[in-house]
Structure 1
Amino acid sequence: MDFIFTRPDSRAAAAALEVCHEYAEPWLLNHSSRAYSWAVAHASAVDIPHDGELLYVAALLHDLALTPPFDSHTLPFEEAGGHVAWVFAAGAGWGRVRRDRLAEVIVLHMRDDVPADDDPESHLLQVAVSADVCGRGLDRFPEDVVDAVLTRYPRLGFPDAFLLRAEDQAQRKPRCAAAGLMRDGWAQRVRSNPLDAPGR
């Protein structure tokens, strides 16, 4: 099971973790780390070939635009995050096509479901984030995997902290995806996530 906690061996992956440590609060850093673990666990369970480095960097950076230094007052946070990640990838020496892919994966994590055959990295990040944020699809993961992930990366008050940021995004950007989700009962789903049940 250790493979779900193993960072890809690349300078970009190491730098993404360093950036996340610098700018993401502990609850958000752990969310991003859990997202990668859920994604890799699911990929292994159902045999989805994917680009591990791309997935890792996307998972670590996907919510960075929810932090004050990278918050955009005009763009939805996932689009702003895509731009931040594009700049990061340029600094990491990635070519334009790979930079564009990284930004795309981050933007798509807040869009309609993407099939694994069409885009495995976007699909895996969507599965992972949906499970971690609101518990959607948690039955994909065996109990020992869930326990291991939560032990390694505790929730640290994730629901309340995340919803404060999501509500702020929705109020300031009423046409963004987060606003649509909030109108559709997202807050209740986040607060009802079994990962945050008493005794976990």
Structure 2
Amino acid sequence: MRLADIVIPETPAARAALEAATAYCSPALLGHSIRSYLWAAAYAELNGIAFDAELLYVSAMFHDIGLVAEFDSHTVPFEEAGGHVAWIFCAGAGWPVERRVRASEVIIRHMWDEVDVAEDPEGHLLELSTGLDISGRNPQAWPEDLRAEVLARHPRLGIAGEFTACIQNQGERKPDSLAGGFVRGGVAARIAANPLDR
């Protein structure tokens, strides 16, 4: 499988989501969002998982938007804040309520330990792909040549350090959140050991 084999949805909502993420995310966080979609779509293709490419792409662009200063909520975990941003964005894109809710669910669930592929294929794929990109979980699930090609086209730009600082900040301010549990569970060490950064 090659990078050129991965389908990028060419819809108004997908283009607008990339535009919005580019406007608000740092270059490193934007690259992480793009790679998260690419890893997810590639995994789906490699494993015969049917998924909604537009829904997954929009969710990937906004899954960490709650870490950005303009959308960082002091009342809810960052993934929930991101889900709210996506809901509003998708309303503006003309999506029906059910589809807006799905985008929010996919974003919230990317922080879960596991998402049932039968119940939520897009959430399952985003949870797996973000696990690879941030902490290097199960890299062998993606072909080595594909990993190298994606990283050459979309370099990591220091995402490990930037994300560690973000997640630690979230964990300190919101200790009862999943981010707080990740910090207590040693996520910083896992991020630092990510084989994608070698």
Letter in 1 for 2:64: D
Question: Residue in 1 aligned with 2:140?
Answer: 139
Question: Residue in 2 aligned with 1:150?
Answer: 151
Report the TM-score, using the length of structure 2 for normalisation. Answer: 0.97
Report the TM-score, using the length of structure 1 for normalisation. Answer: 0.96
Q: 4+ residue stretches of structure 1 with deviation over 2 A?
A: none
Question: Residue in 2 aligned with 1:3?
Answer: 5
Q: Deviation of residue 74 (structure 1)?
A: 1.2
Q: Deviation of residue 7 (structure 1)?
A: 2.3
**CA–CA distance in structure 2, aligned partners of residues 144 and 181 of structure 1:** 30
Q: Deviation of residue 51 (structure 1)?
A: 0.4
**2:26 maps to 1:34:** no
Question: Residue in 2 aligned with 1:94?
Answer: 95
**CA–CA distance in structure 2, aligned partners of residues 60 and 81 of structure 1:** 10
Superposition map of 1:19-98 within 5 A = 19-98=20-99
**CA–CA distance in structure 2, aligned partners of residues 86 and 21 of structure 1:** 18
Q: Deviation of residue 30 (structure 1)?
A: 0.2
Question: Residue in 2 aligned with 1:185?
Answer: 186
Superposition map of 1:123-134 within 5 A = 123-134=124-135
| Structure 2 residue ranges without an equivalent (≥5) | none
Backbone CA RMSD of aligned residues:
0.8
Question: Residue in 2 aligned with 1:167?
Answer: 168
**2:114 maps to 1:119:** no
Q: Deviation of residue 3 (structure 1)?
A: 3.0
Report % sequence identity.
49
Q: Deviation of residue 116 (structure 1)?
A: 1.3
**CA–CA distance in structure 2, aligned partners of residues 39 and 112 of structure 1:** 16
**CA–CA distance in structure 1, aligned partners of residues 181 and 131 of structure 2:** 15
Q: Deviation of residue 23 (structure 1)?
A: 0.3
Task: Give the paired residue count.
Answer: 196
